[in-house]
Amino acid sequence: MKLLETILDYGGTRRDIAFLILSGAALLCSMFHLPFPAGIDPAWVAILLCGVPIILEAVIGLVTAFDIKADVLVSIALIASVIIGEDFAAGEVAFIMQLGGLLEELTVARARAGIERLVHLTPRTARVIDGGAEKSFPPGR
């Protein structure tokens, strides 16, 4: 499972953005019925690039911690859509979920950076004037 988690994390945000761009382009091709090599529905690009990581994360969460999150429900929706032949719907669900995950990740990173900047603004010493004399000591004393 650790190897699978490492593979899923490989590439980070840049990989996620690249996969979303490719998946979005493929979904547009599918929506407008543009020709695609090998005669397959272009929505499969989105299913593979965005959907497979969601399914793998759901499996990892279920196996390692019996953790039932949105990934599990989305995985069920993806698999059901593919089974009934709604490839575009499966690709669209995968794309939207990956886009939401990326936006959430970026928002958390920005909030974390803001909190770190605030922590660095806290004073290192406190100064007290007592009887005309100034004393410095660590805050919280």
pLDDT of residue 140: 65
Which candidate, 47, 29, 130, 113, places its Cα nearest to that of 83?
Answer: 47
pTM, rounded to two decimals: 0.81
Q: Where are the domains of the chain?
A: 2-137
Mean of all residue pLDDT scores within the chain: 91
What whole-number distance in Å separates Cα of residue 46 and Cα of residue 23?
Answer: 4
User: How far lies 28's CA from each of 65, 92, 134, in Å?
Assistant: 37, 10, 69
Alpha-helical segments (H) within the chain: 2-9, 12-31, 43-46, 52-65, 70-83, 87-120
Question: Phi/psi zone of residue 81: left (φ > 0), alpha (ψ -120 to 50 degrees), beta?
Answer: alpha
Which of the two residues, 120 and 95, has the higher pLDDT score? 95
Q: Which range, 8-12, 48-52, 118-122, has the best average confidence (pLDDT)?
A: 48-52
pLDDT of residue 141: 57
3-state secondary structure of 8: helix
Please say if the pLDDT value at position 89 is more than 80: yes
Alpha-helical segments (H) within 84-140: 87-120
CB 94 within 8 A of CB 54: yes
The residue-averaged pLDDT of 114-131 equals: 86
Please say if the pLDDT value at position 74 is more than 70: yes
Please say if the pLDDT value at position 33 is more than 60: yes
The residue-averaged pLDDT of 69-89 equals: 96
* pLDDT tens digits, 34-46: 988 888 999 999 9
Side chain identity, residue 132: G
CB 94 within 8 A of CB 70: no
Quick one: pLDDT band at residue 32, thresholds 50, 70, 90? very high
CB 33 within 8 A of CB 87: no
Copy the structure tokens of residue 132.
Answer: 């005309």
